[in-house]
């Protein structure tokens, strides 16, 4: 059932129309087997391979996802910090954790470039498949491929706009070098383009696929990101409508075991997992001698667990995780129930009698008296290094728990419905009682807590804080206990600077 996903991230030569940057040479680059745009777009097979290339841009290569995407999307929050390896050896990564990113930061530049590489690949698909005739491609396949590409284009633009206050929107395929230099769009213009792609994708994508095609974008994925787009514009009414429509599909549900979403035991290709709506898939397979996999284990694992300790949870996250304890009588009501929120045991290793680390205690691994938390998310359940430093654990980009909590937030802020049942659904999975929150502010604070513990190390926290406003974001980061937290200034650090290379090469950007 990992067939399609293996194709996405392990095929090293699927199509020559691939990109390494946004310049004219890349735009017209031909494949190694000399296919070109004049003769390539003549079959459904080739159209699907071109789409595969666009999906491949989600990953970014063996090291890039953990050492670029995770750095950009997680290091700036109050609950993730740079580890000893990054502090000592990788100043460009550490800059995100210390709020000192400058416009020539290489990780930032890579994130920007690879997002636009993905957009370029999707525009190739959308433009050229639209021109294919009925004798070249089935009409249903044509509609589906274009819709998937629009979803991906929307997603790449979305992640750019979540990190930069203004971006360049490419909703067309440039036909000349001059067209590659475009001005920055306003934030409103960018959101309109993103919402258009997600809306059109949702209208033309199926709800699910056969197992052989699991991993493709679905109607649910498009609606989820459309709802997330509304939410991050504080358009509570539209967010509630879209997310309510998604919930109404009755296609998704929470996984029974929270940990299983991140330890390889319940991937999206498993029919039992109906929580993951869209993810990046990985495999142990090797193609052409290259390991195109998620090189996450040594980056996430603490030094005491033979990892590089590139990133660590903050003590603030641990405190948030332990915010709700259980009484002895409560623990005895469910077999195996631990002292704290079940999500804490699925996300981090910490000094607690209930923590089991591959058959040993926390103190066996970390030493007596140590209080440092370490990441458990994205480490295999049964064996720390089952295949050297490689991992086949998927990375969820959006899951049903996010939909439920976003919907609750939209209902609470718009006053258009009761958010409590959706909060409690997420809490029940963690073996927690129903919330006692009553008024709007109490419910708001409860949602903030649930999102903090539910989505640790999933690239959500920084953007959540920004959505909740300058005061909340500033207080959270300044009180995070992180090295360099005092550097944070909302006006300077809520968004990243436009990369220096973009300013140098684009005459429309000052």
Q: What is the secondary structure of 123-188 as a DSSP string?
A: HHHHHHHHH--TTTS-HHHHHHHHHHHHHHHHHHHHHHHTT-SS-----S---STGGG--PPPPHH
CB 284 within 8 A of CB 386: no
Within a domain: residue 117? yes
Q: Buried (b) or exposed (e) across 178-209, using 16+ Cβ within 10 A? A: eebbbebbeeeebbebbbebbbbbbebbeeee
Asked if 384 and 479 sit in the same domain, the reply is no
Asked if 171 and 73 sit in the same domain, the reply is yes
Within a domain: residue 317? yes
Residue bearing the bigger pLDDT, 253 or 282: 253
Q: Which two tokens stand for residue 359?
A: 């058959």
Last residue of a domain, one of 344, 363, 391: 391
CA nearest to 251, candidates 265, 271, 266: 271
Asked if 197 and 89 sit in the same domain, the reply is yes
State the Cα–Cα distance between residues 438 and 440, nearest whole angstrom.
7
Within a domain: residue 456? no
Half-sphere exposure of 131 (CA within 13 A, CB side): 12
Q: Which range, of 67-76, 163-172, 467-476, averages the lowest pLDDT?
A: 67-76
Asked if 63 and 170 sit in the same domain, the reply is yes
Phi, psi of 274 (to 5 degrees): -110, 15
The residues, any chain, with a CB within 8 Å of residue 421's CB and separated by 6 or more, are: none
Q: Which two tokens stand for residue 144?
A: 């589906």
State the Cα–Cα distance between residues 33 and 35, nearest whole angstrom.
6
- What total number of domains does the chain contain? 2
Which residues face 82 on adjacent strands?
A: 311
State the Cα–Cα distance between residues 317 and 451, nearest whole angstrom.
12
Last residue of a domain, one of 341, 373, 391: 391
Alpha helices per DSSP H over 415-506: 420-429, 440-454, 461-467, 470-478, 490-493, 500-505
Q: Give how far the C-alpha of residue 265 lies from the chain's centroid of Cα atoms, to the nearest Å.
A: 19
CB 495 within 8 A of CB 166: no
pLDDT given for residue 345 in this prediction: 92
Asked if 375 and 483 sit in the same domain, the reply is no
Residue 121 confidence (pLDDT) above 80: yes
Within a domain: residue 192? yes
The residues, any chain, with a CB within 8 Å of residue 349's CB and separated by 6 or more, are: 302, 305, 355, 357, 362, 365, 366, 373, 374, 375, 376
Asked if 313 and 165 sit in the same domain, the reply is no
Asked if 53 and 195 sit in the same domain, the reply is yes
What is the extent of the structural domain holding 360?
297-391
**pLDDT band at residue 458 under the 50/70/90 scheme:** very high
Residue 106 confidence (pLDDT) above 90: yes
Asked if 58 and 188 sit in the same domain, the reply is yes
Query: In the chain, helix, strand, coil percent, each to 5?
Result: 50, 5, 45
Q: What is the 3-state secondary structure (H, E, C) of 269-311?
A: CCCCCCCEEEEECCCCCCECCECCCCCCHHHHCCHHHCCCCCE
Q: What is the pLDDT of residues 384-425, one digit of tens each?
A: 665 556 667 788 999 999 999 999 999 999 999 999 999 999
Within a domain: residue 63? yes
Last residue of a domain, one of 391, 421, 441: 391
State the Cα–Cα distance between residues 436 and 322, nearest whole angstrom.
18
Asked if 321 and 181 sit in the same domain, the reply is no
**pLDDT band at residue 270 under the 50/70/90 scheme:** low
Asked if 80 and 192 sit in the same domain, the reply is yes
Within a domain: residue 481? yes
Q: Which range, of 299-303, 409-413, 467-471, averages the lowest pLDDT?
A: 299-303
The residues, any chain, with a CB within 8 Å of residue 114's CB and separated by 6 or more, are: 57, 60, 64, 68
Q: Which range, of 51-55, 164-168, 353-357, 447-451, averages the lowest pLDDT?
A: 353-357
CB 476 within 8 A of CB 78: yes
Residue 106, domain CATH: 1.25.40.390
Residue 22 confidence (pLDDT) above 80: no
Residue bearing the bigger pLDDT, 98 or 369: 98
pLDDT given for residue 122 in this prediction: 98
Asked if 480 and 367 sit in the same domain, the reply is no
Q: Which two tokens stand for residue 229?
A: 């787009």
Q: Which range, of 31-40, 156-165, 388-397, 455-464, averages the lowest pLDDT?
A: 31-40
Helical (H) or strand (E) element with 375: strand 374-375
DSSP helix/strand/coil, 207: coil
Within a domain: residue 161? yes
Determine the angle formed by the axes of helices 219-231 and 139-161, rounding to 10 degrees. 30
State the Cα–Cα distance between residues 9 and 4, nearest whole angstrom.
9
CA nearest to 455, candidates 341, 377, 351: 377
Asked if 481 and 380 sit in the same domain, the reply is no
Q: What is the pLDDT of residues 37-64, one digit of tens each?
A: 678 999 999 999 999 999 999 976 555 5
Within a domain: residue 404? no
**How many CB atoms sit inside 10 A of residue 227's CB?**
28
- How large is the average pLDDT for residues 64-68? 71
């Amino acid at each position: 059932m990992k067939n399609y996903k293996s194709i996405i991230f392990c095929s090293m030569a699927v199509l020559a129309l691939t990109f390494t940057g946004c310049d004219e040479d890349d735009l017209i680059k031909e494949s190694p087997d000399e296919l070109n745009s004049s003769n390539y777009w003549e079959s459904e097979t080739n159209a699907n391979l071109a789409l595969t290339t666009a999906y491949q841009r989600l990953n970014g290569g063996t090291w890039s996802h953990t050492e670029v995407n995770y750095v950009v999307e997680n290091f700036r929050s109050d609950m993730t910090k740079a580890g000893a390896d990054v502090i000592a050896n990788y100043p460009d990564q550490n800059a995100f954790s210390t709020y000192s990113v400058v416009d020539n930061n290489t990780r930032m530049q890579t994130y920007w470039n690879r997002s636009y590489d993905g957009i370029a690949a999707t525009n190739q698909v959308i433009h050229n498949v639209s021109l294919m005739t009925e004798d070249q491609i089935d009409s249903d396949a044509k509609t589906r491929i274009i819709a998937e590409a629009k979803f991906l284009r929307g997603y790449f633009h979305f992640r750019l706009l979540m990190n930069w206050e203004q971006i360049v929107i490419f909703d067309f395929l440039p036909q000349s070098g001059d067209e590659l230099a475009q001005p920055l769009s306003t934030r409103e213009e960018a959101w309109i383009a993103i919402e258009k792609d997600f809306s059109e994708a949702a209208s033309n994508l199926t709800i699910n696929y056969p197992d052989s095609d699991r991993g493709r974008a679905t109607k649910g994925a498009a609606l989820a990101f459309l709802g997330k787009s509304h939410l991050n514009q504080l358009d509570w009414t539209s967010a509630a409508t879209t997310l309510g429509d998604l919930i109404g599909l009755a296609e998704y549900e929470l996984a029974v075991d929270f940990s299983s979403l991140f330890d390889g035991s319940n991937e999206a290709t498993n029919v039992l997992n109906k929580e993951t709506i869209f993810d990046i898939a990985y495999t142990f397979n090797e193609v052409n001698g290259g390991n195109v996999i998620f090189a996450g284990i040594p980056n996430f694992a603490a030094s005491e667990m033979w990892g590089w300790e590139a990133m660590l949870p903050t003590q603030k996250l641990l405190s948030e995780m332990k915010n709700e304890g259980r009484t002895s009588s409560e623990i005895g009501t469910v077999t195996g129930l631990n002292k704290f929120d079940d999500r804490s045991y699925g996300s981090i290793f910490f000094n607690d009698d209930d923590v089991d680390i591959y058959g040993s205690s926390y103190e066996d691994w970390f030493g007596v008296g140590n209080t440092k938390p370490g990441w458990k998310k994205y480490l295999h359940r049964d064996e720390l290094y089952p295949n050297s430093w490689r991992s086949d654990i998927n990375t969820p980009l959006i899951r049903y728990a996010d939909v439920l909590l976003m919907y609750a937030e939209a209902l609470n802020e718009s006053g258009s419905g009761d958010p409590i049942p959706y909060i409690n659904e997420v809490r029940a999975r963690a073996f927690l009682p129903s919330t006692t929150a009553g008024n709007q502010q109490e419910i708001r604070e409860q949602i903030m807590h649930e999102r903090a513990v539910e989505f640790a190390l999933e690239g959500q926290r920084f953007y959540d804080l920004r959505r909740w406003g300058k005061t909340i974001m500033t207080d959270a980061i300044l009180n995070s206990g992180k090295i360099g937290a005092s550097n944070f200034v909302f006006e300077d650090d809520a968004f990243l600077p436009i990369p220096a290379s973009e300013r140098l090469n684009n005459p429309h950007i000052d």
